[in-house]
Amino acid sequence: MSSTIQYYEQTRHRIYYLDVLRWIATIAVIMLHVSGNFYVEYNNSIGWCSSVVYSSITRWCVPIFVMISGAVFLNENIAVSLKKLYGKHILRILLALIVWQLLYSFALSPIADYIHARLAGISYNYAPHSLYPLIYHLWFLPMIIGLYVMVPVLRAIVQGKQVIYFLIFSFAVNVLQWLTTLHIPHMGIINTIFQDTYLTAFVGYSGYYVLGWYLSTIQLTPRIYKISRIVFWASTLLTIVAMAMLRGDGLFQYMAPNVMLMSGSFFICMRYRLSEQSKECRWGKIVFNTQKELFGIYLVHAFYVALFCALYPISTVNLLPIVVIPLASLVIFALSWGTIRVLRYIPFVKHIS
C-alpha cells in the first residue's frame, strides 16, 4: 500500500478510480476496526447488530488494498524496476513495520492503557506491550511485502495466457482452505496437504493481487456493471444475514467466497462509475491531496481506535451505535490524517508513513 501511494505521487500515471478506492478503503478499514469492538457477545442488541452490519459492508477493504497494488505493479504500462521494488519499496515497508511496532509496544498502546485506567478510576503501572505478535493491523505489512517479493512471478503469469486458470485455481484453493477453518468433518486431510505443500502461502492473497490487475484491464460494459452491482449487494446481504443467524466469524474471513465476490464486484463497480472522472472534479482534489498520507493514516489509526474504546466504553447497551460507529470512524480518520500531516514534517517520519 505505501509503495503504491509513493509511486503514484512521483509519476504522472495516475488512475483516478484507484485513488478513490484507496481513499474509501482506508475509511472502511477504520470502520471495520471500530465496529469490531461492538462484536462482544451473541445477542440481538442494537450494538451487536450494528457491528454485524458495518463489519459486513466493509469486509472488502483489505482485499481492495491488495487488488489496487496488483493493478499498479503488474501493469506493464507502469514499469517499476525490480531494483527499485526490492531496494526501495520493500525496504520502506519493512522499516515502517519495525518502527511502528516499537512505537505501539512501548508508547502508543501504554498511553491508551493509561487513559483507559484513569477514566475507569483504577491505578496504572507502565508496562510495554509484547513485540510479538504484531499489533493487530500491522499484519498487512509483512503480507504485502511477500506479494512484492513475488511480483516477478506474478508478472510472468499475467503476461502469459494463463491468467484465468490462475484465478480459478487460486479461488478454488482459497475456498478449500476456508472450508478447513469451519471444522467440517473429514476436511483435516486437505488442511494437512496445504500445510505440507505451503500452497496457500503462495496462492493466498496473490489471487487478489492478480485479480486487481485483471479487473483493471478488462473492458467493462453496462451489463457487467449491473451484474457486479447485484453480486455486491447480494453477497453483502448474505454476509449480514448469515453472520446474524450463524453467530460465527467464518463468513468474515478474507478468503471466504462471499468476501471474494464482494471485493471483486465492488472493484468493478467503482472502476465503471469513476473511470470517466478525473482529479479535476469536485472531490478529486481532496482525494489527490490526501493520497500521500493514507499509508500513515492506516498505521496510526489503531491508536485512536484504542482511545475511542477508552472514551466510549464498548457495550451492547450503549445508545445509537448505528450512528456512533460511522461517526467515530470519520473522526478517527480526521485525527489520524491530522497526526500524519504534522508528523510528515519530520524528515525521518516521512519515510515510514
Q: What is the mean pLDDT of residues 283-302?
A: 84
DSSP 130: P
Q: How many CB atoms lie within 10 A of CB 36?
A: 18
Model-level pTM?
A: 0.87
Maximum average pLDDT range among 4-13, 221-230, 268-277? 221-230
CB 282 within 8 A of CB 17: no
Q: What is the pLDDT of residue 10?
A: 44
pLDDT interval class at 266 (50, 70, 90): very high
Q: What is the pLDDT of residue 8?
A: 46
**Pairwise CA distance, residues 286 & 264, whole Å:** 25
pLDDT tens profile 42-94: 456 777 788 889 999 999 999 999 999 999 989 887 767 777 887 788 889 99
Three cell numbers, residue 65: 488494498
Question: Residue 222, exposed/middle/buried by CB under 10 A (0-12, 13-18, 19+)?
Answer: exposed
pLDDT interval class at 211 (50, 70, 90): very high
